[in-house]
Amino acid sequence: MAQVYIAIGSNQADPMAQARQAIQALASLPASRLLAVSSLYGSKPMGPQDQPDYINAVALIETALAPLALLDATQAIELSQGRVRKDERWGPRTLDLDILLYDQAIIESERLTVPHYGLTQREFVVYPLYELSPELRLPNGQAIAVLKQQLPANGLSVLAEV
């Protein structure tokens, strides 16, 4: 069983409800178990600022699913919650689920990069990761606690517990 951290983000169609529904869907994944979920955070959008703020969280699951099978499952959850994939990067979306870490694996394939390529630069990922696992170290040895100290909150705020 692998321990996997998954980022959750939404800024469309009742983002708070989208995030909570995604957490329930993650808890229902086959051959998997939801271990923990961070608080729900409010954050400013990346990229175009002419879109609503985001609701973000990080979930920790334990799974027997292989990385690409897990990716397929998370993309199916996104689609079931109205996600439409567009060419526009960082645009508004009903739901975004990103595999941040899959144990200590380093995965670089056409479909999946783990650790997630933006993990260390995104406060809306680092802060919830720290909340869940303050002792966490990335596969390259970086401590999440040090990353959190170095990364400004940029308006990030805790909105609710799950």
Residue 19 belongs to what H/E stretch? helix 15-27
Catalytic residue among 50, 83, 87, 122: 83
Catalytic residue among 14, 72, 96, 137: 96
Beta carbons within 8 Å of 4's beta carbon, 6+ residues apart: 60, 61, 62, 63, 70, 99, 100, 101, 102, 103
Catalytic residue among 14, 72, 98, 111: 98
Residue 83 appears among annotated catalytic residues? yes
Evaluate whether 9 touches 94 at the Cβ level (below 8 Å).
Answer: no
Residue 111 appears among annotated catalytic residues? no
Q: What tokens appear for 56 in the block?
A: 């973000």
Residue 14 appears among annotated catalytic residues? no
25/109 Cα distance (integer angstroms): 25
Catalytic residue among 33, 87, 93, 137: 93
**b/e burial code for range 68-99 (CB count within 10 A of at least 16 → b):** eebbebbeebbeebebeeeeeeebbbbbbbbb
Residues noted as catalytic: 83, 93, 96, 98
